[in-house]
């Protein structure tokens, strides 16, 4: 029998706790007390973004395999994570404007604008933008990940193809859509979705979960912009945008416009 020389797995070795605890490095002198919270909350969000990508890729793959029940199960998990992500903004709102200003200048041009995982989630859902890729330096991990996601079909495409295999006569133009183009409203798709809602409870339920997902992302955007307004008011963002003015434009912009447009036709 060969002898085991490897150290036994422990909580710390499995979860890489030593490495994890070295990753919070404030830049302010002192350092300012609240910078720790600011760093940790962003790191936690990036981990949730990673988990969302992991699960949303799964949802898309399950739809491709016509496993809609399991896709819905996974979507339920995504929605639960999203709720936690929205609730977490409460923690950051305990930081007053002055507490934030005490270290804000040390962020220089760093901003959530540069979160490639957030853009990856948008791309995967169908919110594509070639311009968003340009913000990430050539040759890096983030740029490569975004370029790949830009070319790939979206969750919405996966859903339409699934519906087509379920017997719905979706137009070829929709099924062969260029995945690099952002998803926009389509009256043809809406006609079919109305039929799904009226006659097909199983797939209507799936549509409702996608609406939940869309609403969950909008809720995050809304809470984020409110937090921005109460923390920096009308100041410009560190990423160079007009700040709350820019962010307000993104709130209420649906990810799956057809699923919202049909509401008045049901
Ligand atoms: C005091 C807290 C925060 C402030 C003042 C703030 C401010 C801003 C501002 C002004 C923007 C617009 C881009 C720019 O010009 O910089 C932005 C974008 C963004 N922020 Fe925050 N933010 C805060 C916390 C967070 C947290 C905790 C996250 C979680 C990851 C986050 C994620 C993002 C993302 C993903 C964007 C891009 C949104 C888009 O382009 O649609 N922010 N933030």
- Provide the pLDDT confidence category of residue 164 given band limits of 50, 70 and 90: very high
Give pLDDT, residue 264: 94
- Provide the pLDDT confidence category of residue 252 given band limits of 50, 70 and 90: confident
Residue pair 78/214 in contact (Cβ under 8 Å)? The answer is no
The CB of 164 under 6 Å from ligand 1? The reply is no
Peptide bond into 31 cis (omega under 30): yes
The encoded tokens of residue 116 equal: 């490639």
The CB of 251 under 6 Å from ligand 1? The reply is no
Residue to probe by mutation, ligand 1, list 111, 129, 234, most atoms within 8 Å of CB? 111
Nearest CA to 60 among 149, 176, 190?
149
How many residues in total does the chain contain? 266
Residue pair 85/150 in contact (Cβ under 8 Å)? The answer is no
Give the whole-angstrom CA distance, residue 144 versus residue 238.
24
Atom 39 of ligand 1, residue of closest alpha carbon:
113
The CB of 218 under 6 Å from ligand 1? The reply is no
The CB of 238 under 6 Å from ligand 1? The reply is yes
Q: Rounded mean pLDDT of 63-89?
A: 97
Give pLDDT, residue 4: 59
Q: Rounded mean pLDDT of 186-197?
A: 97
Q: Rounded mean pLDDT of 25-50?
A: 96
The CB of 241 under 6 Å from ligand 1? The reply is yes
How far are the Cα atoms of 32, 95, 103, 104, 187 from residue 99, in angstroms, in the given order?
8, 6, 8, 9, 49
Give the whole-angstrom CA distance, residue 221 versus residue 244.
11
The CB of 250 under 6 Å from ligand 1? The reply is yes
The CB of 45 under 6 Å from ligand 1? The reply is yes
The CB of 240 under 6 Å from ligand 1? The reply is yes
The CB of 114 under 6 Å from ligand 1? The reply is no
Give the whole-angstrom CA distance, residue 46 versus residue 58.
18
Ligand 1 atom nearest to CA at 132 = 40
- Is residue 233 pLDDT above 90, yes or no? yes
Atom 42 of ligand 1, residue of closest alpha carbon:
112
Give the whole-angstrom CA distance, residue 119 versus residue 124.
8
Taking every pair of Cα atoms in the chain, the longest distance, rounded to a whole number of angstroms, is 71
* Residue 74: Cβ-neighbour burial (10 angstroms; 0-12, 13-18, 19+): buried
* Residue 25: Cβ-neighbour burial (10 angstroms; 0-12, 13-18, 19+): exposed
The CA 258 to ligand 1 mean position distance, Å, reads 28
- Is residue 203 pLDDT above 80, yes or no? yes
Give pLDDT, residue 78: 98
Give pLDDT, residue 5: 65
Mean pLDDT, the chain, as a whole number?
A: 95
- Is residue 2 pLDDT above 90, yes or no? no
The CA 177 to ligand 1 mean position distance, Å, reads 31
Give pLDDT, residue 37: 97
Global model pTM greater than 0.85? yes
Contacts of 121 (CB under 8 A, 6+ apart): 49, 52, 53, 56, 217
- Is residue 36 pLDDT above 70, yes or no? yes
Nearest CA to 107 among 38, 164, 17?
38
């Amino acid at each position: 029998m060969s002898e085991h020389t490897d150290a036994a797995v422990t909580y710390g070795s499995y979860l890489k706790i030593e490495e994890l605890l070295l990753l919070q490095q404030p830049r302010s002198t002192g350092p300012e007390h609240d910078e720790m919270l600011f760093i940790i909350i962003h790191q936690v969000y990036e981990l949730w973004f990673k988990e969302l990508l992991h699960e949303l890729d799964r949802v898309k793959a399950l739809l491709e395999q016509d496993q809609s029940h399991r896709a819905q199960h996974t979507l339920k998990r995504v929605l639960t994570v999203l709720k936690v992500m929205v609730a977490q903004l409460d923690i950051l709102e305990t930081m007053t404007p002055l507490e934030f200003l005490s270290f804000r200048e040390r962020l220089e041009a760093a901003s959530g604008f540069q979160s490639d995982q957030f853009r990856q989630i948008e791309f995967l859902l169908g919110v594509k933008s070639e311009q968003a890729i340009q913000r990430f330096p050539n040759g890096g991990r983030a740029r490569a990940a975004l370029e790949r996601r830009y070319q790939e079909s979206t969750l919405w495409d996966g859903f339409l193809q699934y519906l087509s295999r379920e017997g719905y006569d979706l137009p070829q133009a929709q099924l062969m859509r260029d995945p690099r183009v952002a998803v926009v409203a389509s009256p043809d798709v809406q006609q079919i979705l109305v039929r799904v809602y009226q006659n097909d409870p199983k797939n209507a339920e799936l549509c409702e979960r996608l609406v939940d997902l869309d609403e969950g992302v909008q809720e995050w955007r809304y809470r984020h912009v409110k937090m921005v307004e109460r923390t920096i008011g009308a100041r410009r963002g560190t990423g160079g945008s007009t700040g709350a003015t820019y962010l307000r434009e993104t709130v209420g912009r649906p990810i799956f416009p057809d699923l919202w447009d049909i509401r008045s036709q049901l």
